[in-house]
């Protein structure tokens, strides 16, 4: 017996590049099954959206909330009324959100107020530290309490939700693995090292220290090509003058980034999603954070939590870059499992 029936349509809300990437295989699966849906792009990361917009159909609604130096409060306030109006017009049977951004939290909260069931892709990630990452840890905990469907990417994520007495938990794998498997790039280990830095908790002194340590490594290892697609956030751009011996490039489109990831020797990053993408392409990653909601990668020897201590942990990735473990984030059928849970 089905526990849930889609009579009308699904609504999908996203606002940032990672959300769009991780929702794109789910949207393709909805198309494949003939399920009616509409999409809302809030515009939280409008500039970065341009690099990946070809992965999904043109959104049905664009809220264009992006403002210079906006705060999480600004994002939630600017989404609230516009999104409520969309829900009242569309009357979807289900709202789908992904991850832990302020777009996700605001969309889910408004849907809850409008009595629209919520499905949460990548549910159950936790650090249990509300300040790290901020505001993401708070956002995802809020959505877990509101969601009708909690689609956990791993058994660990699912168990954390069960421990919190959250119901309707489904282990699906991570949809980013579905996305990566669309690219049949040959895995190589060249002299390239990929750097990505953008996380709010690293702004300021921490990011300065990370960059200075990478500068030192680039000087000591001239045979390595350190490539840094620099995030457009002003808090990242302000460290540009500190960068030396590092190849700064513009943000890349997703296929281009995945091709680069397939070729690099290893990765230095504070990104969450790239830890999962590294698993798909079997690349080790130095995680520039103090906490992580993805301990699965650490447990299988794929990732290492290093904070700002890049030099101290460099040899772990550089001397033995090949990783041959089992991907802890699934085998590429997460989107199918998600839809099977409600349709």
Q: Residue 120: which CATH number? A: 3.40.50.2000
| Known catalytic membership, residue 289 | no
Contact 274, 197 (CB under 8 A): no
- Write the DSSP string, 197-239: ---GGGTTHHHHHHHHHHHHHHHH-TTSEEEEE----HHHHTT
pLDDT at 64 over 90: no
Residues 162 and 211 in one domain: no
* CA 33 – CA 173 distance, rounded (Å): 20
Q: Which of 121-125, 142-146, 182-186 bottoms out in mean pLDDT, i.e. has the lowest?
A: 182-186
pLDDT in tens, 228-277: 999 888 899 999 999 988 999 998 889 999 999 999 999 999 999 999 99
Quote the pLDDT of residue 46. 67
The active-site residue out of 45, 199, 231, 294 is 231
Query: Are residue 37 and residue 111 in the same domain, yes or no?
Result: yes
The closest of 30, 48, 36, 9 to 252, measured between CA atoms, is 48
Same domain, 149 and 285: no
Domain ends where: 139, 171, 203? 171
pLDDT in the model for residue 5:
63
Residue 49: pLDDT over 80: no
- pLDDT at 69 (0 to 100): 77
Catalytic residue at 231? Answer: yes
Considering only CA atoms, which of 286, 81, 260 is closest in space to residue 185? 260
Whether residue 145 lies in the annotated active site? no
Catalytic residue among 136, 270, 277, 296: 136
Radius of gyration of the chain (CA): 20
pLDDT at 190 over 60: yes
Work out the number of other CB atoms within 10 angstroms of the CB of residue 128. 11
* Catalytic-role residue among 28, 162, 200, 259: 200
> Which pLDDT score, from 0 to 100, does residue 1 have?
34
In terms of pTM, does the model score above 0.85?
yes
Asked whether residue 299 is assigned to any structural domain, the reply reads yes
Whether 222 and 263 share a structural domain: yes
Task: Identify whether 200 is a catalytic site residue.
Answer: yes
In a domain, 327, yes or no: no
Alpha-carbon gap, residue 241 to 232, rounded angstroms: 14
DSSP-H helix ranges across the chain: 17-33, 46-49, 72-90, 102-113, 136-146, 155-163, 175-180, 205-220, 234-237, 254-263, 273-281, 295-299, 310-318, 334-340
Pair 17, 162 in one domain: yes
Q: From CA 153, how far away is CA 279, in angstroms rounded? A: 13
Residue 103, judged by CB atoms within 10 A of its CB (0-12, 13-18, 19+), counts as buried
Asked, for residue 290, whether it belongs to a domain, the answer is: yes
- pLDDT, tens digit (0-9, with 9 covering 90-100), for 312-338: 999 999 999 999 899 999 999 999 999
Q: Which of 339, 201, 179, 342 is nearest to 270 (CA)?
A: 201
pLDDT at 118: 98
343 has a pLDDT exceeding 90: no
Listed in sequence order, the residues at least 6 apart from 98 whose beta carbon sits closer than 8 Å to its beta carbon are 14, 19, 22, 23, 104, 120, 121, 122, 175
**Is there a single domain that holds both residue 225 and residue 161?**
no
Q: What is the mean pLDDT of residues 7-35?
A: 94
Which position among 19, 90, 122, 263 bears the catalytic label? Answer: 122
Q: Are residues 28 and 158 in the same domain?
A: yes
Mean per-residue pLDDT, 30-56: 85
Nearest to 59 by CA among 116, 14, 119: 14
- Statement: residue 3 has pLDDT above 60: no
214 lies in which domain range?
Answer: 192-318
Give per-residue burial for 207-232: e unless 16+ CB within 10 Å, then b.
Answer: bebbbbbbbebbeeeeebbbbbbbbe
Which range (20-24, 44-48, 83-87, 291-295) has the least confidence?
A: 44-48
How many domains does the chain contain in total? 2
Burial class (CB in 10 A: 0-12, 13-18, 19+), 162: middle
Catalytic residue from among 120, 198, 289, 294: 198
- One domain for residues 225 and 165: no
Q: Residue 85: pLDDT above 60? A: yes
Look at residue 251 in the predicted model and tell me its pLDDT: 87
* Mean pLDDT, all residues of the chain: 93
Is 43 contained in some domain? yes
* Domain identity same for 125 and 14: yes
Judging by DSSP bridges, how do beta strands 94-98 and 118-121 pair with one another? parallel
277 catalytic, yes or no?
A: no
- Is the predicted pLDDT of residue 99 greater than 50, yes or no? yes
161 and 29 in one domain?
yes
Question: Considering 29, 90, 100, 213, which one is annotated as catalytic?
Answer: 100
Is residue 33 annotated as a catalytic residue, yes or no? no
| Same domain membership, residue 201 and residue 167 | no
Residues 100 and 221 in one domain: no
Question: Is residue 297 pLDDT above 90, yes or no?
Answer: yes
């Amino acid at each position: 017996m089905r526990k849930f029936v889609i009579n009308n349509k699904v609504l999908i809300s996203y606002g940032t590049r990672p959300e769009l990437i991780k929702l794109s295989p789910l949207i393709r699966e909805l198309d494949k099954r003939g399920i009616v849906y509409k999409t809302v792009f809030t515009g939280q990361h409008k500039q970065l959206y341009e690099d990946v917009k070809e992965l999904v159909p043109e959104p049905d609604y664009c809220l264009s909330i992006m403002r210079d130096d906006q705060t999480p409060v600004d994002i939630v306030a600017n989404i609230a009324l516009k999104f409520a109006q969309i829900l009242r017009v569309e009357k979807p049977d289900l709202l789908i959100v992904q991850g832990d951004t302020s777009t996700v939290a605001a969309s889910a909260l408004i849907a809850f107020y409008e009595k629209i069931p919520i499905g949460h892709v990548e549910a159950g990630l936790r650090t249990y530290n509300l300040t790290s990452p901020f505001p993401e840890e708070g956002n995802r905990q809020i959505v877990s309490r509101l969601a009708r469907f909690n689609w956990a990417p791993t058994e660990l994520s699912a168990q954390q939700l069960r421990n919190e007495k959250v119901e309707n938990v489904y282990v699906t794998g991570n949809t980013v693995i579905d996305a990566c498997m669309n690219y049949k790039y040959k895995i190589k280990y060249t002299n390239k090292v990929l750097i990505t830095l953008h996380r709010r908790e690293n702004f300021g002194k921490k990011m300065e220290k990370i960059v200075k340590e990478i500068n030192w490594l680039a000087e000591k290892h001239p045979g390595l090509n350190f490539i840094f697609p620099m995030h457009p956030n002003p808090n990242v751009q302000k460290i540009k003058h500190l960068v030396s011996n590092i190849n700064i490039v513009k943000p890349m489109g997703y296929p281009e980034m995945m091709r680069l990831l397939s070729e690099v020797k290893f990765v230095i990053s504070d990104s969450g999603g790239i830890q999962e993408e590294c698993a798909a392409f079997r690349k080790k990653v130095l995680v520039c954070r103090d906490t992580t909601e993805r301990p699965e990668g650490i447990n299988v020897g794929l990732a290492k939590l290093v904070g700002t201590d890049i030099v101290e942990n460099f040899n772990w990735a550089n001397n033995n870059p090949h990783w041959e473990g089992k991907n802890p984030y699934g085998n590429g059928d997460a989107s199918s499992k998600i839809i099977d849970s409600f349709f």
